Amino acid sequence: MKQKWFKGILPLVILAIGFGGMSAIKASGEKDVDKEPVDVRPTVKIETAIAEDYQVRITSYGEVSPLESTMISAQVSGEVLTWHPNFVPGGLVLRGDTLFTIELDTYEAALLQAEADLSLAKANLIEEQAKAVVAKREAKGRKVSDLYLRKPQMLGAQASVKSSQSRLKIAQRDLDNCAIKAPYDALVISRDLGVGQYVNKGSQVGELYNIETAEVSFPIAGFDREFLPTDITQQIATISTKGYNTIVRKGIVSRDLGIIDQSTRMSQLVVRIEDPYALKSSLPVLKFGHYVEVSFAGRTLNQVYRLPQELVNNRIIWLLDENQEMQPQRVEILREEGAYFLISEGLNNQDTLILTLPEYPQKGMKVKIAEPAEDLVIKQSL
């Protein structure tokens, strides 16, 4: 009896479940129809372009070299007695330090002989002056010859004194040159002598590099020449090395070499660095041979825009118009500086730049702004 009742009500239950499912599906469909349409516009970030004056930085590379080098020679002949402990390759010596000495005996004797000769010449001159006075007194106004008045003898005695004085100067110079001194603060590059060695006058015994001043000669490409300041001399330059332990020093642009290379079409400038080996300061040592970057201020460009290079593709940038639509704009690139372009034409103040482009940007494509309330401003940073 129960089974018959269950079989009779089962179709009604199934029918009720089906009707309920259809109602649910219909209600869900009506809700989908009532939903707002999805905004499929790509999201972009923007900045506002503002033109400003920008000072160009000129950058190039060169090698540190000494201002001058000197081959040290023996100025007199003789046996080497001593040499300075720093007069070795790599040693540093100061201006006026005695690099090495040569035996003095011969030159001291020559000086004494020159002094004696001068004394004799002066004595002879005094004698001739006295004789001339006597001759003039004896003449008593008579007309007599110059020989009678001993004028030739006087001239000869005076010449003998001058000759003796010159020999004395030479003897003194030779004696002084027995001690060879450093002409400037120097780095010793080579030395070729030892104690007891006999050196001849004029023989080269070493080489020094001036470390009071160093120079860096660096090329300036043709596209950089037009951005050089009107007067390059006395421009402060930054000299720096690359690598883990970076060395940074200041220098002064001293001169233009005045020649444009025919093969590279580059000109050459020279910057000077004072005290590169830091003998008189606590600055880092900048050794000869370092390959360095040289940077200094160039011309100031009026009313230009400084844009990251990734925003410019084939001289095209993308702007956002008042309808929030993308518009391509061709620009004129005045100069490349690092990761940036300096734009001279094609942009106007308050133009809205698009910083993040959609995957396939198109003219007139509508976009939405990621942060419309926090627009940034493109400004030149000196």
pLDDT digits (tens, 9 = 90+) for 170-180: 999 999 999 99
pLDDT digits (tens, 9 = 90+) for 212-248: 999 999 999 888 888 898 888 889 999 999 888 899 9
CATH superfamily, region 58-66+211-299? Efflux pump adaptor protein, beta barrel domain (2.40.30.170)
pLDDT reading at 11 higher than 70 = no
What amino acid is encoded at 103 in this protein? E
pLDDT reading at 7 higher than 80 = no
- The domain spans of the chain are 44-54+302-378, 58-66+211-299, 69-99+181-210, 104-177
User: So what's the pLDDT on residue 30?
Assistant: 53
Pick 289 or 371 by higher pLDDT. 289
CATH no., domain 69-99+181-210: 2.40.50.100
- Stretch 363-375: mean pLDDT, rounded? 70
What does 150-217 look like in DSSP terms, one character per residue?
A: THHHHHHHHHHHHHHHHHHHHHHHHHHTTEEE-SSSEEEEEE---TT-EE-TT-EEEEEEE-SEEEEE
pLDDT reading at 379 higher than 50 = no
- Stretch 259-264: mean pLDDT, rounded? 87
User: So what's the pLDDT on residue 149?
Assistant: 66
329, two tokens? 């704009």
Radius of gyration of the chain from its Cα atoms, rounded to whole angstroms: 46
pLDDT digits (tens, 9 = 90+) for 100-123: 999 999 999 999 999 999 999 889
Alpha carbons 70 and 182: distance in angstroms, whole number: 10
Alpha carbons 353 and 277: distance in angstroms, whole number: 50
In 3D, which of 180, 179, 177, 199 has the Cα closest to residue 188?
180
Q: What is the helix (H) or strand (E) element at residue 300, kind and residue range?
A: strand 291-308
CATH no., domain 44-54+302-378: 2.40.420.20
Q: Report residue 207's pLDDT band, with 50, 70 and 90 as the boundaries.
A: very high
64, two tokens? 């540190």
Alpha carbons 339 and 259: distance in angstroms, whole number: 31
Q: What is the 8-class DSSP label of residue 135?
A: H
Express as a percent the part of the chain with pLDDT over 70.
Answer: 86
- Stretch 42-62: mean pLDDT, rounded? 88
- CATH assignment of 104-177, given 3.30.870, 3.40.50, 1.10.10, 1.10.287? 1.10.287
Alpha carbons 334 and 243: distance in angstroms, whole number: 31
Q: Say if residues 284 and 278 touch (Cβ distance below 8 Å).
A: yes
Q: What angle do CA 329, 342, 272 make, to 5 degrees?
A: 170
Q: Report residue 76's pLDDT band, with 50, 70 and 90 as the boundaries.
A: very high
Provide CB contacts within 8 A for 251, sequence distance 6+.
216, 236, 237, 238, 239, 271, 272, 273, 274, 294
User: So what's the pLDDT on residue 21?
Assistant: 60
Pick 161 or 135 by higher pLDDT. 161
In 3D, which of 369, 312, 381, 368 has the Cα closest to residue 345?
312
SS (H, E, C) 233-257: CCCEEEEECCCCCCCEEEEEEEEEE
Q: What is the mean pLDDT of the chain?
A: 85
Looking up tokens 């000494």 gives 66
Alpha carbons 334 and 56: distance in angstroms, whole number: 11
pLDDT reading at 35 higher than 70 = no
pTM: 0.72
User: So what's the pLDDT on residue 29?
Assistant: 54
List, in sequence order, every beta strand (DSSP E) within 309-339. 316-320, 326-330, 332-337
Alpha carbons 293 and 241: distance in angstroms, whole number: 6
Express as a percent the part of the chain with pLDDT over 90.
Answer: 43
pLDDT reading at 375 higher than 60 = no
User: So what's the pLDDT on residue 245?
Assistant: 87
What amino acid is encoded at 250 in this protein? K
Pick 12 or 105 by higher pLDDT. 105
pLDDT reading at 351 higher than 90 = no
Alpha carbons 216 and 63: distance in angstroms, whole number: 6
In 3D, which of 331, 329, 83 has the Cα closest to residue 205?
83
Where is average pLDDT lowest: 24-33, 35-44, 228-237? Answer: 24-33
Alpha carbons 80 and 68: distance in angstroms, whole number: 26
User: So what's the pLDDT on residue 272?
Assistant: 96
For the ranges 176-185, 256-265, 338-347, the one whose mean pLDDT is highest:
176-185
pLDDT reading at 373 higher than 60 = no
